[in-house]
Amino acid sequence: MTILPNEYTDRMKRILGDDYNAYEASFLLPPSRGLVINTDKITPEAFDRLFAYPTEKISYFDKGRLLMSEEKVGGDPLHAAGLYYMQDPGAMSTVAALPEIKGRVLDVAAAPGGKTVSAALSSDEVFVVANEVNFPRAKVLLQNVERLGLKNVGVTSLAPRDFAKYTPECFDLIIADLPCSGEGMFRKEQAALDAWNGNINKMNAERQKEILDDVLPALKEGGTLLYSTCTYAPEENEQIVLYLMDKYGMTLLPPRQEVTEATAPALSEDGRDLSSARRFYPFIRPGEGQFVAIMKKSGEKLYATKSIPTKLSFNEEKRVREFVERNVNGDVGVINKQGDDYYAVHPLARTLPLRFLSEGVRIGAMSGGKFLPHHNLFTAFGGRMKNKENLRLDDPRLAEYLFGLEVDAAEAQDGYVAILVEGYPLGGGKCVGGRIKNHYPKGLRTH
């Protein structure tokens, strides 16, 4: 049985009133787990047919599923193929609350990537800058973006204030899912409970205000801020909403009806009605605690978007394109260079003068005058590669490939080849004389 600090339970009793018993009872239920279907690769219907574990649909997010099994799914080849991203159903209620997502999106605190994934999947027209200030966490974020093969995400590892400096009034939407005291995680993360003390809420609120002050100049006039935390403390939630209203004249917007139905209204503060902001509780729907507020920046300005030229010489671009055209069906879009790597970039990425860790799909690099494809080329464009080897879930070569071994080719010709699982891209290799040399990255292999 989880022991909660008295100071915390006293406040929760004040907030929840008659619902407190239901909240306390939720600690006896197993923590919920969910997943977001990568609809860039597979339709929800096809996913439901293929996925081996029992799931239930989530009323407020069509790409979301509640996992009804406690088995670990990390080793699942469909997970390795980026067909889904594990995310708590409570956390899904944040991006799902937005009535519309468009244009340039900044996810300012993005690792490991849950909100970025949902925002990127909302439309191909959207470009998401997924930023994570903590560099090791930014690398995990990048790995997730690459595994899913998302083509409309760029990854950065900058301080929030850098966006105000380099991209002022540039973003249509900023997602600020900020570090918090994590009270909503108490059911499943003992560490959050251990770190809790009476001062933690104030400390987090100060940091949240600082991050928002730093990043808000990067939001367009009339743009939208999605503010969220996974805590219940009013200091870090409702009081932040009031701070944004009072300091910046921001207004609170209602979420989508489906999210309203699955959540409770935010508390009134200072006698002001903040019920358009929402609180997600595990006793209303399965999922961990969450707070979400959609806020609009005042003003309405239209900005012309100026495209930044690519850094490629004519000859360089010709050589990269020749490789791509030889191996991939259809166009991969604009190609740009960053360091030694070549990227297929979203048109909106080229309107942002940012130092990216990854500007889009990392398609490869030149080595000794030859173009060498990167794993990300296969995860993002593998379905369109001309040379493919498709492995069924019961094919013994699948485990061999994930382990890092060479496998026999049944259908692939000599040359670079996309390895698919049940028709969905998993990685790549190079076929020589009927054997496929394994190009699955060492860090992802099962050994």
> How far apart are alpha carbons 172 and 151 in whole angstroms?
19
Indicate whether 114 belongs to the interface with ligand SAM (CB under 6 A): yes
Positions marked active-site: 230
Tokens of 187: 């059911």
| Smallest separation (angstroms) from ligand SAM to the CB of 217 | 15
| Smallest separation (angstroms) from ligand SAM to the CB of 134 | 4
Indicate whether 113 belongs to the interface with ligand SAM (CB under 6 A): yes
| Smallest separation (angstroms) from ligand SAM to the CB of 179 | 4
Indicate whether 133 belongs to the interface with ligand SAM (CB under 6 A): yes
Indicate whether 183 belongs to the interface with ligand SAM (CB under 6 A): no
Per-position x/- string for 208-237, each x denoting binding to ligand SAM as judged by CB under 6 A, each - no binding: ---x--------------------------
The count of residues in the chain is: 447
Tokens of 173: 């939407």
Number of residues that bind ligand SAM (CB under 6 A): 18
Strands (E), 339-421: 341-345, 361-367, 370-373, 388-391, 407-408, 415-421
| Smallest separation (angstroms) from ligand SAM to the CB of 281 | 18
**Whole-Å CA distances, 175 to 224, 275, 283:** 9, 20, 26
Residues 78-107 that bind ligand SAM (CB under 6 A): 91
Is 220 in contact with 297 (CB distance < 8 Å)?
Answer: yes
Indicate whether 259 belongs to the interface with ligand SAM (CB under 6 A): no
* Interface with ligand SAM (CB under 6 A), residue from 146, 177, 183, 288: 177
* Interface with ligand SAM (CB under 6 A), residue from 33, 41, 115, 279: 115
Indicate whether 132 belongs to the interface with ligand SAM (CB under 6 A): yes
Indicate whether 129 belongs to the interface with ligand SAM (CB under 6 A): no
Indicate whether 431 belongs to the interface with ligand SAM (CB under 6 A): no
Indicate whether 160 belongs to the interface with ligand SAM (CB under 6 A): yes
**Whole-Å CA distances, 30 to 25, 26, 342:** 11, 8, 45
Q: At what angle do helices 200-215 and 238-248 cross, to 10 degrees?
A: 40
> How far apart are alpha carbons 119 and 129 in whole angstroms?
10
| Smallest separation (angstroms) from ligand SAM to the CB of 378 | 24
- Centroid of chain to Cα 297: 23
Q: How many CA atoms lie within 13 A of 7 on its CB side?
A: 9
> How far apart are alpha carbons 326 and 356 in whole angstroms?
28
Task: Please give the residue ranges that form the binding site for ligand SAM (CB under 6 A).
Answer: 91, 109-115, 132-134, 137, 160, 177-179, 207, 211
